[in-house]
Structure 1
C-alpha cells in the first residue's frame, strides 16, 4: 500500500499567514508584503522548491555515501517561473547543483542523473490528481 503523507493548514483573519502542521513540526506560510501578506514565512512556491531541494539533497547524499564518493558538500539553487498565456500556464523550474569534493566528471554526471530520480522530482514531473472535498 502507498504511504500517505498528511499536512494540516489553518488560516484565521491574519491576512495570508497560514499555520501548517505536519506530524512533528509546525511551520508558517505567508505571502510577501507586495502581495498583501506579512512575509512571516515562505510563500507556497518557496515551499514547493524547498521540498524539491530537500529531497534532491537527501537523495544525492544517500547515493554518494553508498558509492563511497568524496562529496563534502552539495549546494542547490532552485528557481521557479510560471508563464501564463490566456487560460493555460506552464511552470519552469531550474535546479542548479554545485558539488564540493573530489569528484570526477563521470561522478558529477551520474549525480545530475540521480537528481532526477528523487521522489519529489518524480511527483512534480508525473501526473498529479488533486481531489477536493468538504469535511
Structure 2
C-alpha cells in the first residue's frame, strides 16, 4: 500500500467533553470530575496511551503467524509521566509525556527465542510507537472563524 492519509475530527461539546469522529466511529474524550470534566470517557493522555497499546496489540495479531506464535492472549500495560505545570502554564517544562513505560503480556506456547524476535518486530512496526519515538512534522494547517449573529 502506498502513502495514505488518515483523518479524524474532534468537536468540543459541553464543559471538557470532546466527541471525536473517525470514519463512522465516535469516541468520547473527557476529563475526570476532579479536573472539571464529567468523566464520560478517558482523557486525551489516557487515549494516547491506549492507542499505543492498541497499536502494539494489532501489530502482534497481524504478525503472530509470520513468527509461528500461537498467540492465545496479548495485552499491554502502559503508564506515562508528565508535569501538569507545563499544561497549566506554571512552568517552562514540556506539557507532554516525559516518559512512557509499557509491558507486554503474552500467553503462548512459543519459545523465549521466538517471543524475543516477535517482540522486536512488534516494536519496529507499530506506527504509534514510531510516531512517539521520532520527530514528526506537526503543523497548524489554518483556522476558520465562523461569526455568530
| TM-score normalised according to structure 2 size | 0.82
The answer for the alignment partner of 1:4 in structure 2 is: 5
Higher strand share: 1
Aligned pairs for 1:1-135 within 5 A: 2-12=3-13, 14-83=14-83, 86-89=91-94, 91-117=98-124, 118-132=126-140, 133-135=142-144
Q: How many residues align?
A: 134
How far 1:55 sits from its partner (Å)? 0.9
Q: Which has the larger radius of gyration?
A: 2
Mark the runs of 5 or more structure 1 residues left unpaired by the alignment: none
Mark the runs of 5 or more structure 2 residues left unpaired by the alignment: 145-149
- Structure 1 residue ranges (4+ consecutive) displaced by more than 6 angstroms after TM superposition: none
Q: Secondary structure at the match of 2:3?
A: coil
